[in-house]
């Protein structure tokens, strides 16, 4: 899993968070974790099973959406 320290700010919904860490585990089943400055941890997974005519890198493009 690759973690990217974020030192400025991001907005999720109506919440403004500073000094967060965002981690991705990109694969067929992509996991994500956000560790907020308040100690709150949010996580989840998204399934990017390849469909017909999609190559192996398509999950990177789908996750951006």
Residue of 31, 27, 33 lying closest to 6 (CA atoms): 33
Helix residue ranges, H only, 1-65: 58-64
d(CA 55, CA 30): 16
For residue 50, give both structure tokens. 């390849």
Q: Of 27, 25, 20, 26, nearest to 5 (Cα)?
A: 20
Give the start-to-end residue ranges of the domains of the chain.
2-64
24, β-bridge pairs: 2, 32
pLDDT at 8 over 50: no
pTM: 0.43
End-to-end CA distance of the chain: 20
Question: pLDDT digit string (tens) for 36-63?
Answer: 778 888 888 877 666 776 666 665 566 5
């Amino acid at each position: 899993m690759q973690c990217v320290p974020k030192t400025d700010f991001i907005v999720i919904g109506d919440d403004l968070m500073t000094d967060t860490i965002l981690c991705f585990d990109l694969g067929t089943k992509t996991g994500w974790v956000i560790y907020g400055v308040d100690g709150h941890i949010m996580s989840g997974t998204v399934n990017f099973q390849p469909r017909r005519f999609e190559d192996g890198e398509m999950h990177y493009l789908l996750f951006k959406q």
